[in-house]
Amino acid sequence: MAEDYRGVKGKAGSLKTGVLILFILLAISSGWLWLRSPGGKAPARGLIKFSSEAEFFQYLSKSQEWLSGYWGMGEYPLGKAPPSPIPAPEGGEREEASRISETTIQVKGIDEPDIVKTNGRHLYFSGSRDTKIIRAFPPPELSVVSRLEGNGELLLLENLLILLSREGITGYDISDPSSPRELWNVELEANLLSARLYQGKIYLVTRTPLGGRVSFPLQPLKAKVLVKATDIHHPPIPIPVDSVYTASILDPREGRVEKSVSFVGYSGTSIVYMSRASLYLTYTSSPSPFETYYHFLSGCTDLLPADLMKRMERLMGYDLSDAAKMVELEVLLSSVDLPWEELWKRWEGYVAERKRELETTHIVKIGLENFEIVAQGEVPGRPLNQFSLDEEGGYLRLATTVEPWMLRWRGESTNDVYVLDRELKVVGSLRDLSLGEEIYAVRFMGDKGYVVTFRETDPLHVIDLSHPSKPEVVGELKVPGYSSYLHPINDNLLLGIGRENWKVKVSLFDLSSPSQPMELDRLFLEEYWSEILETHHAFLLDPDHEVFFLPAFERGYVISYGEKDLEVVGVVESRATRRAVYLEDYLYVISEKNLTVLDERTWETVNEIEL
């Protein structure tokens, strides 16, 4: 039996009476949300601002009628501290490494928050309980020099350490690592989705839930960002919403917000991707379940009693929420005998033909130059993660899996790759990549795209994107198991990290011939899981020593890829290993309990401390 850690896809057997009613009951009980307007019209491309609070609340009221439920996360009220200037670095030479690793990121030059940062002399580690500042280089001086209350993710800019937590964002002066000083604090009254550090500025994306009572101004960053109703953008054609998204630019030296922009959206799977020119945010939606079922049943009049159709038509015209209409529809369908076998057969065909209409990803593009919304667009399906998006030459490339929830009971998923222009209009597409599978990993590199899909085997697809209007598959390689993270070593070598037969697997791919990708080697670890399967930040590549670090539950592994062979050259026995960094020729392996230093020339342990 093939492994699928995301959930077993059951194969439906013979239809049992009332399965369509079961779909309806599930849609009601699960609080299935959607974002398409009544009648199935797609939102207009341009976004406009609300003219008044009254217009906003009218929009929201209509939205609440459409939404079948809401399960937004709560807010977190927090305290703040006044900003202080950051002192300039002291003169004189510092004893620090010149060869320093960085957090594994997606776009060169755009830093991402993580639990570990380093400046070449100190490590900053935010573990499960607190945040530690550790003297790391040279290795004989290894020691914890101070601790900060609270934990989260970190950004580092010169002598400034920024801690991002669920409660807020705090800036610390770390000129004296043994005595860090809080400079400023920004309280969060929204959910922090993502952040980036680029050219000395922090870019934040927050989501403010609209459940319960809404009062203006919204304050996603308390006392720093005040969002009036007239500041919020929305599509001209009404869509159900449950959140206000706010993107902000934060000056990390003073904790001051320079600019912000807000728009309505939905809290379903949201992905943030940032290029050097634009910030993108996506969210995924589905159409109204009631209208979907009504439209389907309207095409089955030869199977339904005439009186039932009349009652459904009257129900369609009632001034009721979709949730209430779904309940009434279930009552109507359960009151008559219907040919369920034939209905089920037609339902399968209906969903298969319209699957790209049943799940949509909306994209909002914010230009970094003026920090304004410059475009919005949409494509069928849902992206996997931030690596599903990539900007190259003014075009956005986006890979999606098309598998509406209805298909998950029985049906065939598929995968697409779309190319959008600067206005987020689709100019090229590649459809039906690996029918019956879903995307597990994506990596775009220049004019090539690499997509891993999985169900029974792990096909690696090589896609030529040199002609934006005509992306095409030029090569494919099928191997057992799957890869869920792809990392380029150079233009011709690609690492794939995933699992096979419930073990962590590493594959080394040769891409020198795009039409004939090859798996040069594979390595299995006696481990069930690695944090790399969840976040690319857990991966570390050291090209000078031709090794990479892979954390696992029981230990941390140093793996060589030299000579195009995979070989474990170092192992650190420490449970819950989290990260590794290198300083000069020393590898620092960090777990919740220990910090171990290895000499990369011999792979011997040279120092270790408890954390």
pLDDT at 384: 95
Distance separating alpha carbons of residues 35 and 264, to the nearest angstrom: 11
Distance separating alpha carbons of residues 540 and 547, to the nearest angstrom: 9
Residue 157: inside a domain: no
The model's confidence at residue 18, banded by pLDDT at 50, 70 and 90, is very low
Distance separating alpha carbons of residues 88 and 91, to the nearest angstrom: 9
Distance separating alpha carbons of residues 34 and 47, to the nearest angstrom: 19
Residue 293: inside a domain: yes
Residue 331: inside a domain: yes
pLDDT, average across residues 103-121: 97
Looking at residue 106, the DSSP 8-state letter turns out to be S
Contact of 401 with 415, CB cutoff 8 Å: yes
Taking the model in full, what pTM does it have? 0.87
Please say if the pLDDT value at position 537 is more than 90. Answer: yes
Residue 342: inside a domain: yes
Please say if the pLDDT value at position 519 is more than 50. Answer: yes
Q: Each residue of 348-357: b (16+ CB within 10 Å) or e?
A: bebbeeebbb
Paired tokens of 610: 């408890």
Range of the domain at 348: 19-42+288-356
Kindly provide the residue ranges of all beta strands, DSSP E only, lying in 447-528, ordered along the sequence: 448-454, 457-464, 472-480, 482-488, 493-500, 503-510, 518-525
Distance separating alpha carbons of residues 81 and 241, to the nearest angstrom: 34
Contact of 137 with 223, CB cutoff 8 Å: no
Residue 249: inside a domain: no
Q: Which of 397, 353, 393, 392 is nearest to 377 (CA)?
A: 397
Task: Measure CA of the first residue to CA of the last residue in the chain; give whole Å.
Answer: 42
pLDDT at 317: 87
Strands lying side by side in the sheet with 448-454: 438-445, 448-454, 457-464, 472-480
Residues whose CB falls within 8 Å of the CB of residue 231, separated by 6 or more in sequence, listed in order: 49, 262
Contact of 494 with 511, CB cutoff 8 Å: yes
State whether the Cα torsion 14-16-20-23 is positive or negative: negative
Strands 518-525, 540-542: pairing is: unpaired
Question: What is the residue type of 541?
Answer: L
Q: Which of 75, 67, 17, 73 is nearest to 37 (CA)?
A: 67
pLDDT at 572: 95
Q: Which range, of 23-27, 434-438, 442-446, 449-453, averages the lowest pLDDT? A: 23-27
Residues whose CB falls within 8 Å of the CB of residue 7, separated by 6 or more in sequence, listed in order: none
Model confidence pLDDT, tens digit, residues 575-607? 889 999 999 999 999 999 999 999 999 999 999
Question: How many folded domains does the chain comprise?
Answer: 1
Model confidence pLDDT, tens digit, residues 469-511? 999 999 999 999 999 999 999 999 999 999 999 999 999 999 9
Question: For the chain, what is the mean pLDDT?
Answer: 86
Please say if the pLDDT value at position 101 is more than 60. Answer: yes
Residue 186: inside a domain: no
The model's confidence at residue 405, banded by pLDDT at 50, 70 and 90, is low
pLDDT at 91: 39
Model confidence pLDDT, tens digit, residues 554-577? 899 999 999 889 999 999 998 889
Q: Which of 483, 608, 598 is nearest to 545 (CA)?
A: 598
The model's confidence at residue 16, banded by pLDDT at 50, 70 and 90, is very low
pLDDT at 439: 95
The model's confidence at residue 545, banded by pLDDT at 50, 70 and 90, is very high
Residue 38: inside a domain: yes
Residue 321: inside a domain: yes
Q: Which range, of 44-53, 108-117, 205-214, 373-382, averages the lowest pLDDT? A: 44-53
Long-range contacts formed by 519-522: CB under 8 A, 24+ apart: 519/477, 519/479, 520/564, 520/565, 521/564, 521/565, 521/566, 522/479, 522/566
pLDDT, average across residues 273-286: 93
Model confidence pLDDT, tens digit, residues 125-173? 999 999 999 999 999 999 999 999 999 999 999 999 999 999 999 999 9
Cis omega (within 30 of 0) on the bond before 138? yes
